[in-house]
Structure 1
Amino acid sequence: MSKILITSPYPEFTVLARQICVEMEVEAIILEKVLEEAAASAQELVQEGEVEVVISRAGTAAAIERVVNVPVVTAEYTDFDLLQALWNAKKLGDKIGFLGFRYKQIEYDFDSLVEILGTEVKQYLYGNTREIEEQVEKAYKDGIEVIVGGGYIGVRLARQKGMQGVLVYTSRRALVQAIQRAIDILRIIRKDREKEERLKTIIHAANEGIIAVDENGVITVFNPGAEKILGIAARQVVGKSISAVTANDDLLDLLKGQEEIKGDLRQVGESQVIVNRMPVKVGGQTLGIILTLQDVTRIQQLEQRIRKELYTQGLVAKFSFNDIIYRSKVMKDVIASAEKFAETDSTVLITGESGTGKELIAQSIHQSSKRRTGPFVAVNCAALPESLLESELFGYAEGAFTGARRGGKAGLFELAHGGTIFLDEIGKISLELQARLLRVLQEKEVMRVGGDRIIPVDIRVIAATNQNLRAAVQQGAFRDDLFYRLNVLKLTLPPLRERKEDIPLLVEHFLRKFNAKFGKTVQSLPAKLMEWFLQYDWPGNVRELENFVERFVILADGDELEPNLLEHFREDMNNAERENYDWDDNSLVIEIDKLDNMVVQIIRQLDKRVGGNRSELARLLGVSRTTLWKKLKQLEE
């Protein structure tokens, strides 16, 4: 809404204004009123917030300016407009009277006009409607034959007296220029308002107290921070002189002073504060001061909180059971068991394929447990080499090895004190490290690498693996005592292929997530793609599904996907099935094709299975190495 008001002195002006507004695509309120009547309507609209800029003419513009506090743009007629009106008046009579607004500087040279027209033009000045009536009466008595100007009121009154009346029409160009000025003013007003609101938001959001005093010693800003520190409400002080707002001599001295202060520690009433004072100077003249107050107690509290946050950075659980998306019965059973496990402090072992959400479940258990206010420390045991993993888990003492930090470093078990530690890929750690982990579980204590001091820890351990630990125990790759210590409470997460009824819900969730991330509005998947999703076995589970949906949102135009891209998705899914095929099975998966192409597929898949060992490849194919070499050469050609 443009919030522009145009007052019209005559119907033709109204028609022209509406036409120009349509052409310029400007919304405006157009009132066909003049002088006091127009001013009253404008005042009412401004007070209601409907109008921010007014366009008017001469006397009406002056009348409006007296009663509103918004800009008034004048759409004045030009010299040519006046000359044209006088020329038309000359055709109607020799004695011409001009009704002009008294408070507007008259820039017209009537002597020159008289010379050009060869006719006398007498001026009759007015300031309001009553004076127009008086001046028309006077013109009548003076024997004037034609009245020019005064709007429709002047024309109507002249005709009532038997005189002719001629309007001074505002040209199209003058009105276009006035509307454009109004648009420019409105744009400036809104930019200034945006800056003012932005500054006000910054001032009110600041934790420190901010007080502004103008050159007259009147308080203009007193933000919530100042209210809190000083115990004084802003409504009691804003707009008042500094000497009238406080009996606190310390504050009064600060507000009266003009010199700059930076970082001074002062006692202000009951509060100890850090004070900054800056004079506001424009062109070398001081126009007031800005005073900021920081409560020392709050600064100390913030420092303590920052230290704690830095110490526990990243050691928090972000997800809870409410964040898990499912409708399948198998997942309902898993969640029900996990919620019961959260009520205890026993060790939990979570098993499941990669991408099934083992850490999500671990975080949810922590968030629902009595340890929820403590840290949640997650570590991927397969992501670090054994030497580094040991020092990360147990920490190290000063001088434990070359490059060890002075004073040593706390390990992740220590950082998890009072909370939960999540050990992902637990099956990947060495037997030696397994022995140290067993001691932590049994004794609830750790010893740093290179240290000689036992450090007690209060932690809950949640471990996870995508391996068969029982089989690893039978093979001697995993300690049986550690396995039994971990396998107190066990959760097995189903792969996505066993909970396909959850796929539509998960897709919907990921669409919302990636729409927000990439600024898209994708509502759903194409029916064909959803059909493939429901048929596909998802070897990468939920993580793989999330990646597919992310790629779809990036590539999609609305809910549509180009046919070639849709086929590209299908091909990727086929490739993923082949790449993730169980190679322990004595079978291959190939696409039906020409014989030579199928032979190529067989050789390439077997070559991948044996890791490029050509002797083993020749054995599996039942040919000699020479025959294999010739066949490979033919394929390359």
Structure 2
Amino acid sequence: MLPRIIITSPYPEFGIITESICRKLSVEPIIVGGVLEDAVRTVLDIAKKEDIEVVISRGGTANELMNFTEIPVIKAEADEFDVLLALWEAKKISPEKIAFLDSIYHKSSHDYQNIEEILGTSIRRYTFRDFTELQSQIRKAHSDGMKVLVTGSKLGVNMATEIGMQGVIVRSSRRAIIQAIERAKEVIRIRKIDKGYTQRLRTLMDSVKEAILLMDENNRIMLINDEAKSILKLNDQQALHKYIYNVNNIWLEKVYGDGNPCFGNLVEIEGVKVVVNRCLVTNDNENFGSVIRFQGLSALQDLEQKTRKEIHKKGLFTKFTFKDIIGTSKSLSEAIEIAKIYGETDSTVLIYGESGTGKELFAQSIHNVSPRKDGPFVAINCAALPENLLESELFGYEEGSFTGAKKGGKIGLFELAHGGTIFLDEIGKIPLSLQGRLLRVLQEKEVRHLGGDKIIPIDTRVIAATNVNLHEAVQNGDFRPDLYYRINVLQIKLPPLRERKGDVKQLFNYFVENFNKKYGKDVTGISHELESWLEAYDWPGNIRELANFTERLFVLSNGKSIDNNFLKKFIEINDYKNTTLCYGNAEYIAVPSGTLEEMERELILKLYEKTGYNKTKLANKLGISRNTLCKKLNIP
């Protein structure tokens, strides 16, 4: 495609000559006849519809165009020889009384003294800025008695003729026109290179999730990327090439600030926090403008979190949901329903439960139904680490903050959990010396690295768990009361396995299925004796103990079933010597080993439970009276 050029023609011959030259130089021109405001309006109208790369003009029209368009304007000015020819022609008409009308911008561009000496006559000069002054200056020349008017346009000659003066046009030479077109082609070539750089820069700017503004040395907006337009609610027309103070936008004023370089400035506008960075563009102490980068704090934290997750994948995801919780007992079902309600909130949750009751399983399940489910889940056992290591793990540290600190420092678990959930297991075991710092993090929602002075805002939900009575720990002085009340917002108590005996068989079958897959076995024959023993045993280690028991049973067993002889021996040689496996023809009940009286009472209690606590029915079954039964059970 040929380069598109607009050429303003101050007189008809100029347009004809220029168009002919353009064809020879492989340029496609648009000729606009006229001067000053009329020509400027026409050029601007065309530029709105066409991709115009350069404008060739001259005199006052060229200067007017420079004030109203960013399109490069090349001047095809008449040189002194062209002026001399026009004045020589004017002298032929009238040896004296010659007026020379020129744009005020060119009033000193010609050596009139030498021209007057060459011509042997005086020349009176008149200057103008716009169409109105053009008219008034021609009338003034006429009133001054001037006979001939020398000017640069057909319009000026026509005005002079109308009031009785002669007119001569200063024509640009063919050489001047060719030079202007060649300069225009060079400008187009350079602009094409510049467009390539600009487009690559714009593509780069639009590819990042950060708002960017490029300013020139006069604080005009030269480039603005899509993210900045979105945040500032501006479009190209409202922003590009505008002085920053002329853009009526409170957001823009805030991010620009005083214009001085800054890094990490936190600006709040209408409740939204934005992080702003400004830097100058300089070379050899020459100022070329500035770059302003800004980003919403929440978006920046999300980006940081994404980066952290890539670096620290371990432990940042959940494996369990409420569907993974095995059991249908009333106490467990109630705990699940409460936990689901808590999951819909963002408040701190405190989970009470004995060791092995599934506190982390509940914590992960709560996280997975919460609005933070797509964020990280970070868990730490507060009792598993010594005090100094626990502090650095929770809050992070700077390089050189202590002996053995990693180069570059390390971010803490609260930062890793930004946008998600942190699970503080065994929170009751946190040393008193750390409890105050933890309280501040929970209250202020910000952390500071060990050895650092930078405050880092965080957005993290806390779920804590404990197997000790924190209220008693507060009374004993082992736990801060303010921290206790801070974490004890929503509370869940998980029932131990001994209080949900009806779930034991279901859990055991679940573990059987898993260990069949793990060890490549097909154990299906579970005896009634084993089922009864499973329900009778108290499981002080809760679900964890049941899982370990099942795995140990699998490892040592052979075949597809577990016979009673093997089971009896297994129970005796393992950690279950205080229990006895009982079996007969119809019903099997396991009771703990003890004195005969203790075992009898335990057996009667289990039968009492099986009969639905019906004393008469149980007494008849045992062949004893109700009074005797009540005495044995020590009940009224």
* Class of the TM-score when normalised by the shorter of the 2 chains: 0.3 to 0.5
TM-score w.r.t. the length of structure 1 is 0.42
Query: Which has the higher Rg, Structure 1 or Structure 2?
Result: 2
